[in-house]
Chains A and B, each alone.
Chain A
Amino acid sequence: MQQIDCPWCGKRNETEFSCGGELISRPQDALGADDKAWTDYLYFRTNTKGVHTEVWRHTFGCRQWFKAERNTLTHQVVNTRKLSEETGEGHGDHG
C-alpha cells in the first residue's frame, strides 16, 4: 500500500485519498474568454507521461483538497503542498 503525504495530516494510506485529476484553472476573464480558452479548460489536458501536477483530496481524512506532483509512469507521489502554496519545498519525499 502506497502512502501519500497529506499537507495537513501527514502520511496516510492511498485508499484514504481521491484523485481530482490534472490541476487546471478557469479562464481568468470569464466574459472575454473565447471558445478555444473555454474548451481548453473544459476538455483538453496535458496528460503528461512523467511528473504530472494534480489535485487530490484527503476524502477519508481531513477532506481538504491539495496539490500533488505524481509520476504517472511509477505512480510515486514526489511532492504535495497546500493549494495556497505556489512554490516551496512541499511535503513529499522529493524522490
Chain B
Amino acid sequence: MDSYSLFSLVKHALSGHKNWQPAWRSPKLKPHYDVVIAGAGGHGLATAYYLAKKHGITKVAVLEKGWLGGGNTGRNTQAIRSNYFYPEATEFFDHSLKLYENLSQELNYNIMLSQRGTLTLAHSERELEGLQRWVTAIQINGVDSEFLTPAEIKELAPVIDISKNARFPIAGGFIQRRGGIARHDAVAWSYARGADALGVDIIQNCAVTGLDIRNNKIQGVKTAQGTIGCERVGLTVAGHTSVLAEMAGFQVPVTSMALQAMVTEPMKPFLNTMIASPVVHVYMHQSDRGELVFGGGADTGNSYAQRGSVPILEENARAILELFPCVSRMKLMRQWAGIVDVTPDTMPVIGKTPVDGLYINGGWGTGGFKAIPAGGDTLACTIARDKPHSLIEKFSLERFRSGELVNEAASSGVAH
C-alpha cells in the first residue's frame, strides 16, 4: 500500500500523477472465508478492518450489493457527537468519537474531521430546563458539554437572531465542542483501504441473496456471484436489516424510513458550528465547500425507496427559514434520502442473533454515521470472541424480549 504523505504527493507530482495505485483491490470471490460481512458501508468496512487489525482474522470478505459506501454512509449529514443521556449510550458514542479523533492518523487517510462544535438551541424557559437536565447528565457521564447564554451563542454564530422579535426566540443552548463533522466518503474509503491492505477482500456488485443455515448454525452465504462457505457472518446492512434478518428466519424490531437531507449552492463561510433545534425540528452546518447542509424530520411511513417526498422537503426548508430568515434567497442544489432503520428505543441492535455464527449491526436510526468506528470495533470483537463486547451488552436484540430498553428517545431530545 502506498503511504500517503507530503513526500508521496511530491513524488507523484513529478511523474504527473500517473502512477497512483488504486486504494483497494477488486479481487475475485473465493469459495471460502472465515468471516463474511454483508454490506460495505462504514460499519461493515470498519468491522472488517478491526477483525484483521485487532483480532488477526484476515480471511474476510465484505460483500456489497451496489458500490462501496453508497448507502447511508454516503447519504448522512456527517454529524459526530457523543452528548447522549444514558451512561451506556454515552460510553458507546464517546468511544466512537475518540476513535474518530485518531482515525486520520491510524488509517493514513485524511477523513477531514472538523471538531467545530455541536450547538443545540432552546427557545423557551421550559425547554431550557430540559436542556439543563440533559447537560448535567452528559457532564456526570464524563463528556464535555457547556451551557451557553444567548449572548454567547451570538458570539459563536453571529447569523443567529437572538432578538425578542425572532420567530423562535433563543432562550439559550448548549454545545459539545468536541462534536463536529467528518467527510463521510473518506471514512468509508479509509477503512476500505486499511482493511484491503490487511488482506480483506472487498467485493462490490455482489448482493447477498440468501443465507445457508443448517442446525441453527451459519454455513455459508448465497450471493449474486455464487455460494461461498464461511464460519461466521456479520450483517451490517443499514436500511435492509429486516430483509436480511428475514433470510435468517427471525424478525427485528425495526421500521425502515426515508430520512432526507439537502444542500444549497455554496457561499462564503458564515457559520462555523453545527446547529440543531429540537423544537423547530431541523439541523444545519456549512460544509467546507460552503454549501449549507441541512435536514429535519423523516418522511411519513415505511420506505425502502431511498428518495424523499416533496412535502417533507418543503417542511425542512420552512424550518430552516424560520430559524435563519437570512438564507431565504439561497438556491437549493441537491436533495436525497437514505433509509434509516428505526428501533422503538432509537438505540441500535448490535451483537449476537438467534442463529449461531450470525451477528447483527443495525437499527442505528438517524445516528449511524457517528457510530461507525465503535460499531465496527465492538462488532469485530463480538464476532472474534462469540461474546458481546462490554460496550454493546445493553444493545442486544434480546432486550426487546426482556423489556430492558435504553429509552434515549424520551430523554435525549433528539428530534426524530
Binding site for B on A (CB under 8 A): 1-2, 14-15, 17-19, 21-22, 35-36, 39-40, 42-49, 52, 54, 70, 72-75
Q: Which residues of the partner chain A approach B304 to less than 8 Å between Cβ atoms? A: 49, 72-73
* Surface stretch bound by A, among B75-83, B189-197, B305-313, B378-386: B305-313
Q: Which residues of the partner chain A approach B403 to less than 8 Å between Cβ atoms? A: 39
- Residue of B whose beta carbon sits closest to that of A42: B344
Shortest C-beta distance, A15 to chain B (Å), equals 5
Shortest C-beta distance, A68 to chain B (Å), equals 9
* Interface of B: prevailing SS: loop
Q: Is the CB of B255 within 8 A of A21?
A: yes
The 10 closest A-B pairs by CB, nearest first: A19-B301, A47-B242, A43-B253, A43-B400, A19-B300, A44-B251, A49-B304, A72-B302, A15-B311, A72-B304
Q: Is the CB of A45 within 8 A of B254?
A: yes
Q: Is the CB of A73 within 8 A of B242?
A: no
Q: List 5 A-B contacts (CB under 8 A).
A: A17-B300, A22-B302, A45-B255, A48-B242, A54-B301
Give the docked Cα–Cα distance between A46 and B250 (Å): 10
Q: Which residues of the partner chain B approach A48 to less than 8 Å between Cβ atoms? A: 242, 302
- Residue of A whose beta carbon sits closest to that of B401: A39
Q: Which residues of the partner chain A approach B253 to less than 8 Å between Cβ atoms? A: 43-45
- Residue of A whose beta carbon sits closest to that of B299: A75
Cβ-defined partner of B310 (8 Å) among A1, A40, A43: A1
Q: Is the CB of A72 within 8 A of B255?
A: no
Give the docked Cα–Cα distance between A92 and B303 (Å): 19
Shortest C-beta distance, A37 to chain B (Å), equals 11
Binding site for A on B (CB under 8 A): 240, 242-243, 251-256, 300-305, 309-311, 344, 400-401, 403
Residue of A45, A47, A73, A74 with highest tally of chain B CB at under 10 A: A47
Shortest C-beta distance, B310 to chain A (Å), equals 7
Q: Is the CB of A47 within 8 A of B309?
A: no
Q: Is the CB of A47 within 8 A of B256?
A: yes
Q: Which residues of the partner chain B approach A44 to less than 8 Å between Cβ atoms? A: 251-253, 400
Given A14-B311, A54-B302, A70-B302, output 11 extra A-B contacts at Cβ < 8 Å. Answer: A2-B309, A39-B403, A44-B251, A44-B252, A45-B242, A48-B302, A49-B304, A72-B303, A73-B304, A73-B305, A74-B305
- Residue of A whose beta carbon sits closest to that of B306: A73
Give the docked Cα–Cα distance between A52 and B242 (Å): 13
Give the docked Cα–Cα distance between A1 and B401 (Å): 40
Q: Which residues of the partner chain A approach B243 to less than 8 Å between Cβ atoms? A: 49
Residue of B302, B303, B401 with highest tally of chain A CB at under 10 A: B302
Give the docked Cα–Cα distance between A17 and B300 (Å): 9
Shortest C-beta distance, A43 to chain B (Å), equals 4
Q: Is the CB of A43 within 8 A of B344?
A: yes
Give the docked Cα–Cα distance between A74 and B240 (Å): 16
- Residue of A whose beta carbon sits closest to that of B300: A19
Q: Which residues of the partner chain A approach B242 to less than 8 Å between Cβ atoms? A: 45-49
Give the docked Cα–Cα distance between A39 and B251 (Å): 12
Q: Which residues of the partner chain A approach B310 to less than 8 Å between Cβ atoms? A: 1
Q: Which residues of the partner chain B approach A22 to less than 8 Å between Cβ atoms? A: 255, 302
Q: Is the CB of B305 within 8 A of A47?
A: no
Give the docked Cα–Cα distance between A48 and B304 (Å): 9
Q: Which residues of the partner chain B approach A46 to less than 8 Å between Cβ atoms? A: 242, 251
Give the docked Cα–Cα distance between A46 and B252 (Å): 8
Q: Is the CB of B251 within 8 A of A75?
A: no
Q: Is the CB of A72 within 8 A of B305?
A: yes
Q: Is the CB of A75 within 8 A of B309?
A: yes
Give the docked Cα–Cα distance between A39 and B402 (Å): 9
Give the docked Cα–Cα distance between A21 and B401 (Å): 21
Q: Is the CB of B251 within 8 A of A45?
A: yes
Q: Is the CB of A75 within 8 A of B311?
A: no
Shortest C-beta distance, A74 to chain B (Å), equals 7
Shortest C-beta distance, B391 to chain A (Å), equals 22
Q: Which residues of the partner chain A approach B305 to less than 8 Å between Cβ atoms? A: 72-75
Shortest C-beta distance, A84 to chain B (Å), equals 22
Shortest C-beta distance, B300 to chain A (Å), equals 5
Q: Which residues of the partner chain A approach B303 to less than 8 Å between Cβ atoms? A: 72, 75
Give the docked Cα–Cα distance between A17 and B344 (Å): 22
Residue of A2, A45, A52, A74 with highest tally of chain B CB at under 10 A: A45
Give the docked Cα–Cα distance between A73 and B88 (Å): 35
Residue of B243, B255, B344, B401 with highest tally of chain A CB at under 10 A: B401
Q: A72-B302, A72-B303, A75-B303 are in contact. Are A14 and B309 (CB under 8 A)?
A: yes
Q: Which residues of the partner chain B approach A73 to less than 8 Å between Cβ atoms? A: 304-305
Q: Is the CB of A70 within 8 A of B301?
A: yes
Q: A14-B311, A72-B256, A75-B309 are in contact. Are A47 and B302 (CB under 8 A)?
A: yes
Q: Which residues of the partner chain A approach B240 to less than 8 Å between Cβ atoms? A: 49
